[in-house]
Amino acid sequence: MAISQYNVMRTTEYYEITYETPLSNQAYIICEIIFHLEAQPDLATCCLVSRLWNTCTTPILWKKPFMKRASTFDKFIRTLVRTRQHATSYAYGCFIQSLDLSRLSCSAGELNLISESCGVLKYLDFSYVRELKDDILSRISGQCSDLKSLKLLNLPNITDHSLMQIINRCHRLEHLAIGDCINIKNDSFLQLAISAEHLVTLEIFIGNTIENDTFMLITQHCLRLKNLHIWDCGTLDDNAIITMAFNLNINLESLILQNLRNITDLSMKQVAIRCPNIRHLGLEPYEGVTNDTLKVIANYCLRIESFQFTLHKAENISNDGFLMMAERLKLLNKVTFQYSTPFVTDVTLSMLGIRSANNLTYLHLYNCNFTDSSFWVLEKSHPPISDLCLFAIPNVTDDPIIALLRSISGTLTSLQISNCDRITEDVVISGIGRYCRNLKKLSLFPSTDFTIRDLDAIVSVCLQLKEFYLASTEDIPNTIIAPTITRLRNLEKLRIRVNPNLTPDDVSMICCGCYKLQEFFFGRSEYLNDDFVHNYNLDGRKKPLIVLGP
pLDDT along the chain (550 residues), means of 10: 38 40 70 82 87 88 84 86 83 92 87 90 94 93 93 95 95 95 94 93 94 95 95 94 95 96 96 97 95 97 97 94 96 95 94 94 96 96 96 95 96 95 92 95 84 91 93 81 90 86 84 86 76 71 68
* Closest of 483, 401, 403 to residue 446, by C-alpha: 401
Q: How far is CA 159 from CA 126, 186, 387, 505, in A?
A: 14, 11, 39, 48
Between CA 54 and CA 72 the distance in angstroms is 20
Between CA 233 and CA 261 the distance in angstroms is 8
Non-local (6+) Cβ contacts of 479 within 8 A are none
- Bridge partners for 445 per DSSP: 418
Contact 145, 171 (CB under 8 A): yes
User: What's residue 24's pLDDT?
Assistant: 66
Instruction: Rounding to the nearest 10 degrees, give the CA dihedral for residues 541, 547, 548, 550.
Output: 160
User: What's residue 33's pLDDT?
Assistant: 83
Half-sphere CA count of 418, side-chain side, radius 13 A: 16
Between CA 511 and CA 485 the distance in angstroms is 10
Rounded to 5°, the CA angle 530-536-541 comes to 135
User: What's residue 127's pLDDT?
Assistant: 94
Residue by residue, DSSP assigns 277-310 as T--EEEEEE-TT--HHHHHHHHHH-TT--EEEEE
CB atoms under 10 Å from CB of 118, counted, come to: 21
For 507, the enclosing helix (H) or strand (E) is helix 504-513
User: Considering just the CA atoms, what is the radius of gyration of the chain in Å?
Assistant: 26
User: What's residue 547's pLDDT?
Assistant: 74
Helix (DSSP H) and strand (DSSP E) numbers for the chain: 22, 20
CB atoms under 10 Å from CB of 461, counted, come to: 17
H helices of 62-173, in order, are 70-84, 108-117, 134-143, 160-169
Q: 351-358 long-range CB contacts below 8 Å, 24 or more apart?
A: 351/322, 351/323, 351/326, 351/327, 352/322, 352/326, 353/377, 353/378, 353/381, 353/383, 354/326, 354/381, 355/326, 355/327, 356/326, 356/329, 356/332, 356/383, 357/381, 357/382, 357/383, 358/383, 358/384
The most distant pair of C-alpha atoms in the chain lies apart, rounded to whole Å, by: 75
Contact 291, 321 (CB under 8 A): yes
H helices of 160-290, in order, are 160-169, 186-195, 212-221, 238-248, 265-274
Q: Is 7 helix (H, G, I), strand (E, B) or coil?
A: strand
φ, ψ at 123 (rounded to 5°) = -130, 120
